[in-house]
Structure 1
Amino acid sequence: MALLIHSVFRVLSWLPLPVLHVMGWLLGWLSFALSARYRRRLFAHAAQAGYPRRVALASVGESGKLVTELPRLWLGRPVRIEWAGAELIEATQTPGSGVLFLTPHLGCFEITAQAYARRFGAARPMTVLFRPARKPWLRELVANARSRPGLQAAPTTLSGVKQLMQALKAGEAVGLLPDQVPPAGLGVWAPFFGRDAYTMTLSARLVRAADVQILLSWGERLSWGRGYRVHVRSFDAVNGGPLSAQPDEAARQINLAMEALVRECPAQYLWSYDRYKTPNRSAHSLR
């Protein structure tokens, strides 16, 4: 099975990005048509944030592109990348000071780390936290595909968190998706678009453990497969101040910052993600 999947990914990685995005658009609408649960969650979450159905519907094709672009991003030729705010990264090149990037489920979040590694990874490597695939045959493919020069992947385990802390203490960069629901006991309930969502406290723990600067980033998927534009924002500027040392307040601040990024392009947010679920303990939890 692993060999078959890898072969399929390899073949798809040769396709032009516009073709993959057309395939993804069709996949997204097929999922929408076949799953009533998907449709209910999509509309409910967009409405919770104050957006009409047309915004939710615009995100359907984008969510499919999120899947079909992966073979190209993981195994294919480099894609075209534009930057908006790269100077904020350049301004953090302080010896001994790490950088924490917070990225929501917005646009192509896979490209943000790759773009950073391509442009800045030689001088300051990045480590990203990822949840290992449940299927063993897929786990190795995902882990290997995400690791490249200037970029390492750390699993959502205790050893993975230690890897992130070591990277920040060494003055390197770390990337997180803070709107990902953490395992039970590793988060707090904080408002997200007006409704309490279980929110990870890992970001605040990392900031307390090392001298860290926080930046926000997200990868805009450009139309017609033209590539991506990576947006970088200052957390302090968006939030109006530094991250609090109190877990509850820090979670509230981070959710507000994620909301601000989503509002930049709500049609590319993953509204179908089960953001408001009650977490369960997992075999891969950060224990």
Structure 2
Amino acid sequence: MIVQSLFRLFARLPLSWLHRLGGWAGWITYAASPAYRRRLRQNLFNALGHDDERLLRAAIAETGRQFVEIAWVWLRPVDEVMKKVRVEGWELVEAARRDGAGLLFITPHLGCFEINAQYIATREPITVLYRPPRKSVLAPLMEQGRSRPQLRAAPADLSGVRQLVKTLRSRGAVGMLPDQVPAAGEGVWAPFFGRPAWTMTLAARLAEVKGVCTIYCWVERLPRGEGFVMRLYPPTLPLEGDLEARCATINREVERLIMLRPDQYLWGYNRYKKPRSVRAQGKPAGADAEVDAAGGVRRGDDGPAHAAGGDGGGGDR
């Protein structure tokens, strides 16, 4: 109840106040948690190859803003939220629609990632996978925040994967968060900023569904509560080769987006953790569902993964 009350209080604050509060919250979390502090510093160093104290300080504050602004995005009226959002690159969507393509939006945990699907839903229907948050107290708030017109949630299981495939084959839109660590049976090892990371395969498989146009997007957080800019980009690299190669390509595309505003990435997330029963640098034990290039679902080495709905902020941090 305390957490829910705090979220509702945060949602009432002006965005500029909330972002100032979030900056303080980021520093409090950084000071209070040695494990989080160590992971954030290590992940940032790994990406840059050197220490950058100025960027580190910015990332600490931006992570706090990223967390508290979720309340504002979830609980404010959608039209009020969208007044704070401008968009660059929507012509990619319009061109894909003229070609009759389905749309796969790939969005890393960069900036205010919660806005991506919500904005798209104001223009056309979009389907995302839904996985309840690890902190169950946030579940009703998440459900309220994501109960928007034209924003559809699919369960994070085999039926949800089938729903995503069906949506893409019918030329609909699907949203994905590709940079969460999937469970065993849902990923492959692929480089992420030069280190092996257990990487979801669902995004790569869905991108191979016939007639799909992939668009990378993220939402930049502007200073002083001025709002947000949603930016959309076409792929810069061909998605080809085996599954590991395709996942590595998506990781490189994600890296490119992150380096546009590295201070706004979720560096405190434990991106390099190894799920149980997964062999380091090897294939996982067990099997689950996979999506083939024709858009079907078959048995294999992949299963449902996180999507633009995610688990309310990136899971294990």
- Matched ranges for 1:143-162 at <5 A: 143-162=143-162
Q: Which residue of structure 2 lines up, in the alignment, with residue 269 of structure 1?
A: 265
Q: Compare 100-109 and 131-140 and name the one that shifted more.
A: 131-140
SS of 1:197 mapped into structure 2: strand
SS of 1:91 mapped into structure 2: helix
User: Normalising to structure 2: TM-score of the pair?
Assistant: 0.81
Distance 1:264 1:271, change over 3 A: same
Looking at secondary structure, tell me which structure has more helix per residue: 1
- Matched ranges for 1:65-76 at <5 A: 65-76=65-76
Q: For residue 111 of structure 1, report the CA deviation from its aligned partner.
A: 0.9
Checking the alignment, whether the CA contact within 8 Å between 1:179 and 1:275 is kept in structure 2 is yes
Deviation readout 1:31-51 (Å, 9 max, x if unpaired): 011111111111111111115
1:247 and 2:247 equivalent? no
User: Normalising to structure 1: TM-score of the pair?
Assistant: 0.89
1:258 and 2:254 equivalent? yes
Q: For residue 56 of structure 1, report the CA deviation from its aligned partner.
A: 2.1
Q: For residue 8 of structure 1, report the CA deviation from its aligned partner.
A: 4.0
Q: Compare 94-103 and 83-92 and name the one that shifted more.
A: 94-103
Checking the alignment, whether the CA contact within 8 Å between 1:214 and 1:234 is kept in structure 2 is yes
- Matched ranges for 1:162-241 at <5 A: 162-235=162-235, 238-239=236-237, 241=238
Q: For residue 128 of structure 1, report the CA deviation from its aligned partner.
A: 1.8
Q: Which residue of structure 1 lines up, in the alignment, with residue 59 of structure 2?
A: 59
Distance 1:138 1:150, change over 3 A: same
Q: Which residue of structure 1 lines up, in the alignment, with residue 30 of structure 2?
A: 32
Q: Which residue of structure 2 lines up, in the alignment, with residue 107 of structure 1?
A: 111
Q: Distance in 2 between matches of 1:128 and 1:286?
A: 12
Q: Which runs of 5+ in 1 are unaligned?
A: none
Q: For residue 147 of structure 1, report the CA deviation from its aligned partner.
A: 2.6
SS of 2:257 mapped into structure 1: helix
SS of 1:25 mapped into structure 2: helix
Deviation readout 1:232-266 (Å, 9 max, x if unpaired): 0001xx22x2x226211111100000010011111
Deviation readout 1:160-200 (Å, 9 max, x if unpaired): 22221121122111111111111111111011111110111
Equivalent pairs, count: 274
Deviation readout 1:5-37 (Å, 9 max, x if unpaired): 545433332211111111111110000111111
Q: For residue 96 of structure 1, report the CA deviation from its aligned partner.
A: 4.7
